Amino acid sequence: VAKTSLTSPPWPEVKLPDPVEEAKYHAEVVRKVNGLISAGHYGRLFAVVHFASKQWKITSEDLIMMDNVLGAECGDRIRMEKVLLVGADDFTLIGRPLLGKDLVRVEATVIEKTESWPKVNMRFWRRHNFQRKKIITNPQTVLRINTIEIYPCLS
């Protein structure tokens, strides 16, 4: 068959590496990372956590403010599940989409439960004598992330 514009696909041809060698390489990498974690050769850990319908990139000794009320009193310790990503300087653990609970542990304490600054919500139509003014104060909670820990249970 002659070569036309449609014989070969428009993307450049790519060859994937050998699956057997790839599996060996993956196992080696997993062993190395496990060794690093168990030996403790990491500095500051950062994590991406899904909390209060938002995703946050957090480290230890971090302050987080959310625009809602939690069912916890001031001074309560909270453990955050739903961790999406954990990383340090040399390695990152990417969850698909979440990481296991026996891998990561994120602890936080509730510090403050306040209200936001009074926001003005005003609607106005000209020439129609329509004016509504409302002052909204949202309840807010402030959390401090105490620690992020990882355990060497990769496979």
Partner 1 sequence: QHFRGRKNRCYKLAVRSVRRAFVRSTKARREKKRFLRALWITRIEAASLEHGLKYPAFISNLLKSQVELNRKVLADLAIYEPKTFKSLAALAQRRRQEGFLAALGDGKEPEGIFSRIVHHH
Residue 1 touching partner 1 (CB under 8 A): yes
> Who contacts 3 (Cβ-Cβ below 8 Å, separation ≥6)?
none
Residue 96 touching partner 1 (CB under 8 A): yes
> Who contacts 34 (Cβ-Cβ below 8 Å, separation ≥6)?
152, 154
Q: Which CB, 75 or 96, lies closer to partner 1? A: 96
Q: Which stretch binds partner 1 (CB under 8 A): 27-35, 70-78, 100-108, 113-121?
A: 113-121
> Who contacts 40 (Cβ-Cβ below 8 Å, separation ≥6)?
none
Q: Select the residue interacting with partner 1 from 34, 56, 78, 146 (CB under 8 A).
A: 56
Please state, in angstroms and rounded to a whole number, the distance separating the CA atoms of residues 154 and 103: 8
Tokens of 32: 């190395």
Per the listing, tokens 């954990």 go with 86
| Contact indicator for 5, 110 with CB cutoff of 8 Å | no
Q: How far is the CB of 139 from partner 1 (least distance, A)?
A: 17
Q: Select the residue interacting with partner 1 from 122, 128, 129, 130 (CB under 8 A).
A: 122
Residue 6 touching partner 1 (CB under 8 A): no
Binding site for partner 1 (CB under 8 A): 1-2, 9, 11, 14, 16, 46, 48, 55-57, 84-85, 87, 89, 92, 94-97, 119-124, 131, 133
